[in-house]
Structure 1
Amino acid sequence: MGKRDNRVAYINPIAAARARGPVQNSGPTIQDYLSRPRPTWEELKEQLEKKKKGSRALADFEDKMNEVCLHYALII
């Protein structure tokens, strides 16, 4: 009786990946990212000014809270 052949085939993972071919990209490319539309300098300044002013809803809320606090202060 002869010995059993217990050798295992080794597959080089790099060679296997190359044999499959190039990887298909599913998302946007770097070129897509670099060529995206960007705001102009004037639009950017307007956005910054809007951020500095804050939101109107927050200002209304703060005014209402000040009225409520003042009302409670007069009651006490």
Structure 2
Amino acid sequence: MGKRDNRVAYINPIAAARARGPAQASGPTIQDYLSRPRPTWEELKEQLEKKKKGSRLLADFEDKMNEVCKQMPC
């Protein structure tokens, strides 16, 4: 009786990847990221000023609560 053939074929993963060709882009590229629109320095300053002023919603809520407290003893 002969020996059983138990050799396993080895596939080089790098060669297999190259044989498939270049990978398909599945999202934005680096070039898309680098060429994205950016705010100007003036727009950036305006955004920072808005953040410093605080939340408009919170200010409205505080004003409303102050009006309610004036009408009723809190």
Alignment of 1:31-46 (within 5 A): 31-46=31-46
What is the SS of the residue equivalent to 1:75?
coil
Measured against aligned partners, the alpha-carbon deviations of 1:43-71 in whole angstroms (never above 9, x if no partner) come to 111111111111221012223345556xx
Measured against aligned partners, the alpha-carbon deviations of 1:20-55 in whole angstroms (never above 9, x if no partner) come to 111011100111000001111111111111111112
In structure 2, the gaps of 5 or more residues are none
In structure 1, the gaps of 5 or more residues are none
Tell me, in whole angstroms, the C-alpha distance in 2 between the residues paired with 1:10 and 1:40.
Answer: 56
Pairwise CA RMSD: 1.9
> TM-score under structure 1 normalisation?
0.78
> TM-score under structure 2 normalisation?
0.80
Task: Give the ranges of 4+ consecutive aligned residues of structure 1 lying more than 6 Å apart after TM superposition.
Answer: none
